[in-house]
Amino acid sequence: MTSRIPNQEMAEELNKLVIGKATWLQDFSEGRRKRPDHEIEARWRELTVLQQAVSDYSAAAARERGAA
């Protein structure tokens, strides 16, 4: 079993996923390469979830730094 990933590292890795999701939305939300609306809506929801997770893990990391 692997050890738990530290909160700060989780925030950093999740932020990479946020960037990827935002790039997808930029590339496929409009224009010639536009994807169906239900796909775009799903990606927006996923982006929101990821952003909230980044915020939560960042806050947890800040609390850890304050407690150390």
- Which residue type is seen at 2? T
The verdict on residue 63 lying in a domain is: yes
Residue 2 has a pLDDT of 79
Model-level pTM? Answer: 0.89
22-58 per-position pLDDT tens digit: 999 999 999 999 999 999 999 999 999 999 999 999 9
The verdict on residue 28 lying in a domain is: yes
Compare 4 and 2 and report the one with higher pLDDT: 4
| Domain ranges, residue 30 | 7-67
The verdict on residue 1 lying in a domain is: no
User: How many structural domains are present in the chain?
Assistant: 1
Residue 67 has a pLDDT of 77
The verdict on residue 2 lying in a domain is: no
Query: What backbone torsions phi and psi does residue 36 show, to the nearest 5 degrees?
Result: -60, 150
> How many residues does the structure list for the chain?
68
